């Protein structure tokens, strides 16, 4: 028994001395509970909406104030005409537009009913459904206040819902761009993360180091084959999205492929950076797969809107490159926008790519 207890004590000492084991045992569960506890939420918070008020009377002002003071919505823009709706929704910041018909207050008083239109961005079906449900509930509550106790169940203000870009709220419009983003960063980073570590483990790194190639040439030489193969991969994925799920590319196909090439290069550069910092192939695989999959799913806006997350999570999400590519691919594929609507996200991806390549060259050791 004493020998067994001594053996158990030795194992405890080994675990406490290994920082990586302690991180897996205690760090990952803490991170996961914080991520899932705050990010995985169906609550709506501070969603930006615009208003097109064609009546501009006291009644429309009351409803607008009630919607904005609920804590669920923020007034982003005040539209002047119907032509502004598509322009506002294409920017991706405004998630919905509330339209009050002409002579809203007069119709409500004289006819006993008036219409309010809710136009949402259907490229994000979950967000669109949440917004319509919350606005409808607020309007229903306003109806009760207006009707009083005599006709509590009577609808005086009638909400009419329309979805832009995805009228039938098909889930493919949300999942296909997100899955493309997730697959490409995982596959590209995983493939290149083991390249340099494989050379170290197989003992062929000495051959590369004594060759006349410079570190930048070695790194670019590692990236180029995977870059070409990944580009073929993205073409296959887009074809499957069109043939199987019926998801067309409404915008420029050339622009979409160019943005995809940039995202592939960024992902490969991230994989090379992981490879230069890892000592073994197992470590590189663990970092590139486990370390990238969960943050990409939760903090990229793929499934859960970043606007609904608590303060602090948005700043962390800003460090996730997939967030910007999801915005790009949704704008081009679903909304049919051009480069002027995605130039900021493009510049951010270029900055990530340059930073990853620069750090990879800096961390590449020319001596074993």
For 39-62, the pLDDT digits (tens) are 556 667 778 888 988 888 888 888
Q: What is the mean pLDDT of residues 163-183?
A: 77
Residue 7 has what pLDDT?
Answer: 56
For 222-255, the pLDDT digits (tens) are 777 878 888 888 888 888 888 877 788 888 999 9
Q: What is the mean pLDDT of residues 307-327?
A: 80
Distance, in Å, from the CA atom of 92 to the CA atom of 79, rounded to the nearest integer, reads 15
Residue 306 has what pLDDT?
Answer: 75
Evaluate whether 92 touches 47 at the Cβ level (below 8 Å): no
In the chain, the domains with their CATH numbers are 47-164 (3.40.1710.10), 172-363 (no CATH)
Closest CA to 181 of 242, 250, 237, 121: 237
For 67-106, the pLDDT digits (tens) are 888 878 888 878 888 888 888 888 878 888 888 888 888 8
For 329-362, the pLDDT digits (tens) are 988 988 888 898 899 999 999 999 999 888 887 8
Evaluate whether 281 touches 200 at the Cβ level (below 8 Å): no
How is 9-64 classified by DSSP, letter by letter? HHHHHHHHH-HHHHIIIIIHHHHHHHHHHHHS-----SEEEEEEESS-SHHHHHHH
Question: What mean pLDDT is reported for the chain?
Answer: 78
For 95-147, the pLDDT digits (tens) are 888 888 888 888 877 777 888 888 888 877 778 888 888 888 888 888 887 76
Residue 202 has what pLDDT?
Answer: 65
State the pTM of this model: 0.76
Residue 364 has what pLDDT?
Answer: 65
């Amino acid at each position: 028994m004493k020998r067994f207890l001594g053996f158990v004590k030795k194992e405890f000492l080994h675990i406490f001395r290994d920082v990586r084991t302690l991180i897996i045992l205690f760090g990952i569960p803490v991170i996961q509970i914080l991520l899932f506890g705050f990010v995985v939420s169906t609550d709506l918070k501070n969603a930006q909406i615009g208003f097109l008020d064609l009546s501009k009377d006291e009644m429309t002002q009351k409803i607008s104030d009630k919607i904005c003071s609920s804590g669920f919505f923020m007034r982003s823009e005040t539209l002047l005409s119907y032509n502004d709706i598509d322009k506002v929704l294409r920017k991706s910041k405004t998630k919905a537009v509330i339209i009050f018909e002409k002579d809203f207050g007069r119709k409500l008083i004289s006819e006993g009913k008036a219409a309010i239109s809710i136009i949402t961005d259907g490229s994000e079906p979950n967000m669109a459904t949440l917004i319509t449900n919350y606005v409808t509930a607020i309007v229903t509550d306003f109806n009760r206040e207006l009707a009083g106790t005599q006709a509590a169940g009577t609808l005086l203000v009638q909400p009419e819902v329309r979805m832009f870009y995805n009228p039938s709220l098909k889930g493919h419009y949300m999942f296909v761009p997100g899955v493309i983003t997730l697959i490409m960063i995982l596959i590209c980073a995983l493939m290149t993360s083991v390249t340099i570590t494989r050379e170290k483990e197989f003992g062929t790194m000495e051959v590369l180091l004594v060759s006349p190639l410079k570190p930048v040439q070695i790194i670019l030489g590692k990236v180029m084959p995977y870059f070409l193969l990944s580009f073929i991969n993205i073409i296959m994925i887009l074809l499957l999205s069109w043939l199987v799920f019926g998801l067309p590319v409404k915008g420029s196909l050339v622009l979409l492929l160019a943005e995809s090439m940039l995202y592939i290069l960024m992902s490969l550069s991230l994989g090379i950076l992981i490879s230069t910092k890892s000592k073994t192939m197992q470590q590189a695989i663990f970092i590139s797969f486990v370390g990238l999959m969960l943050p990409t799913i939760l903090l990229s806006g793929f499934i859960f809107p970043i606007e609904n997350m608590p303060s602090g999570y948005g700043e962390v999400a800003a460090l996730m490159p997939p967030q910007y590519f999801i915005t790009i691919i949704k704008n081009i594929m679903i909304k049919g926008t051009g480069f002027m609507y995605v130039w900021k996200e493009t510049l951010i991806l270029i900055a990530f790519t340059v930073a990853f390549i620069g750090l990879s060259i800096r961390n590449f050791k020319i001596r074993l």
